[in-house]
């Protein structure tokens, strides 16, 4: 029993690592293609059919590029920062059920690494730890722009943690559990049971906060494009920078799954169609990240703080109060 469990867990972990590292690469291809389509460009076309092998070319470049650690940086912290981003992104995936449980060769597989009964809290906590990556990278880089970007990153994440927490509290109160599987069971009855109908405000708030948590475009302040350079990643080269990239894209995929699982019914009753539905929903949320990037400019840091503390937080608190009153 114990050996079987051990082997199963290791296989799951390896599968998630491989699939989502690869998806991060393919995600960049989709991002370029989608952005190019929306901005009437072609995007990558030269390498392979439809530019599909661009991913491989980027991979070869990142892996073989010289790994430079500049003088004056705080060496160990500088080296460990990208690992923190990538590792925490994948650690958060441990509590996400990616598919309903299915039977393979007479052995029941649960596609979740650890069904701890506080899944959501764990995911949010670990994603919060993930922001140590940009912060440490910026602080250790001995570069003024990196330091500024680290400061912005710390401010954004500290504020938007509040929004994610508060917006999720209302659905958690309704379901009465913190496990994503329980969330899924609660909405298993079909489209009418989805939490998004009863908690639209929480859904929108969490969605907005997801952009800040993953550092995507309207809130892409940690790597401020207006400074022409890449914020906390300025001093990084090669695969160290690539790890930040993988972490960011993995986070986008995982938060898309979490959004679909919490608000849009997840995999429903667990049939094949339901599983397909979960993948489609997660893919839509991922696409929406790219769509927003093409459609919206970045907001200023002060506007971001204004939005967080003066608009979103009061709405989230009122939403919790209303939910509590209705439930009583």
Partner 1 sequence: MFEAVAFYLFAFLTISMFYIAVTTSQALYAISSLAAGMIFISAFFFILGADFLGAIQIVVYSGAVMALYAFGMMFFDTTRDVKEKHGNKVIVIGLSIISAVLIVLIVGAPIVGSNIEALYPITEGAGNTQEVGMVLFTKYLVPFEVAAVMLLVAMISGIVLAGKKMDLSLTLMNEQEILKMREEDKTKKVLS
| Nearest Cα to Cα of residue 303 among 156, 167, 164, 165 | 156
As measured in angstroms, the least distance from the Cβ of 154 to partner 1 is 5
43 vs 39: CA distance, rounded Å? 10
Which part of the chain contacts partner 1 (CB under 8 A), choosing from 52-60, 68-76, 183-191, 237-245? 68-76
210 binds partner 1 (CB under 8 A): no
- Residue from 7, 10, 50, 117 that binds partner 1 (CB under 8 A)? 117
154 binds partner 1 (CB under 8 A): yes
Angstrom CA distances, 62 to 52, 173, 236, 246, 280, stand at 17, 45, 11, 12, 30
Maximum Cα–Cα distance across the chain: 62
Which part of the chain contacts partner 1 (CB under 8 A), choosing from 50-58, 113-121, 235-243, 258-266? 113-121
128 binds partner 1 (CB under 8 A): yes
CB 216 within 8 A of CB 285: no
302 binds partner 1 (CB under 8 A): yes
294 binds partner 1 (CB under 8 A): no
124 binds partner 1 (CB under 8 A): yes
- Residue from 17, 52, 53, 142 that binds partner 1 (CB under 8 A)? 142
Angstrom CA distances, 171 to 4, 187, 191, 316, 322, stand at 35, 11, 16, 12, 12
As measured in angstroms, the least distance from the Cβ of 95 to partner 1 is 10
**Residue ranges binding partner 1 (CB under 8 A):** 72-74, 76-77, 80, 116-118, 121-122, 124-126, 128-129, 131-132, 135-136, 139-140, 142, 147, 150-151, 154-155, 157-158, 161, 177-178, 300, 302
């Amino acid at each position: 029993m114990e050996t079987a469990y051990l082997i199963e867990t290791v296989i799951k972990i390896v599968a998630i690592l491989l699939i989502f590292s690869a998806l991060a690469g393919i995600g960049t291809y989709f991002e370029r293609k989608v952005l190019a389509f929306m901005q009437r460009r072609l995007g990558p076309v030269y390498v392979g059919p439809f530019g599909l092998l661009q991913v491989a070319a980027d991979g070869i470049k990142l892996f073989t590029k010289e790994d430079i650690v500049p003088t004056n940086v705080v060496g160990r912290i500088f080296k460990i920062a990208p690992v923190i981003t990538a590792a925490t992104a994948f650690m958060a995936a441990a509590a996400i059920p990616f598919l309903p449980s299915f039977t393979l060769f007479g052995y029941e597989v649960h596609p979740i690494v650890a069904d701890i009964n506080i899944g959501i809290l764990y995911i949010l906590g670990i994603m919060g730890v993930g922001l140590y990556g940009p912060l440490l990278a910026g602080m250790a880089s001995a570069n003024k722009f990196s330091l500024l970007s680290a400061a912005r990153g710390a401010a954004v994440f500290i504020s938007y943690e509040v929004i994610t927490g508060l917006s999720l509290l209302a659905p958690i109160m309704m379901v009465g559990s913190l496990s994503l599987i329980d969330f899924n069971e609660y909405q298993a009855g079909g489209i009418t049971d989805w939490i998004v109908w009863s908690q639209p405000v929480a859904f929108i708030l969490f969605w907005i906060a997801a952009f800040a948590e993953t550092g995507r475009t309207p809130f892409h302040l940690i790597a401020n494009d207006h400074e022409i350079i890449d914020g906390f990643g300025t001093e990084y080269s090669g695969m160290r920078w690539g790890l930040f990239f993988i972490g960011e894209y993995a986070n986008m995929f995982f938060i898309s799954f979490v959004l679909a699982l919490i608000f849009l019914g997840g995999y429903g009753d667990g049939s094949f169609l339901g599983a397909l539905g979960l993948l489609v929903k997660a893919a839509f949320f991922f696409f929406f990240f790219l769509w927003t990037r093409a459609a919206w400019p970045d907001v200023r840091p002060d506007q971001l703080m204004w939005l967080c503390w003066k608009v979103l937080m009061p709405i989230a608190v009122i939403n919790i109060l209303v939910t509590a009153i209705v439930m009583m």
